[in-house]
Amino acid sequence: MALQLGETAPNFTIESTQGTVNFHQWLDDSWAVLFSHPADFTPVCTTELGAFAKRKNEFTQRGAKLVGVSVDPLSSHHDWAGDIEQTQGTALNYPLLADEDQVVAKLYGMIHPKADPKLTVRTVFIIDSDKKIRLTLTYPPSTGRNVDEILRVLDSLQLTDKHKVATPVDWQNGDDVIISPSLSNDDARQHFPEGWNTKTPYLRVVRQPEQ
Which runs of E-coded beta strand occur in the chain? 13-16, 19-22, 31-37, 64-70, 96-98, 122-127, 133-139, 165-166, 177-179, 197-200, 203-206
Q: Would you report the helix, strand and coil content of the chain in percent, each value rounded to 5?
A: 30, 25, 45
Q: Say which amino acid occupies 147.
A: V
Torsion, CA 98, CA 103, CA 108, CA 110, rounded to 10: 70
SS3 204: strand
The catalytic position among 45, 53, 67, 151 is: 45
Contact 147, 55 (CB under 8 A): yes
> How far, in Å, CA of 189 to CA of 176, rounded?
17
What letter does residue 132 receive in the DSSP assignment?
B
> How far, in Å, CA of 61 to CA of 148, rounded?
14
Instruction: Check if 45 is active-site.
Output: yes
> How far, in Å, CA of 53 to CA of 92, rounded?
6
Positions marked active-site: 45
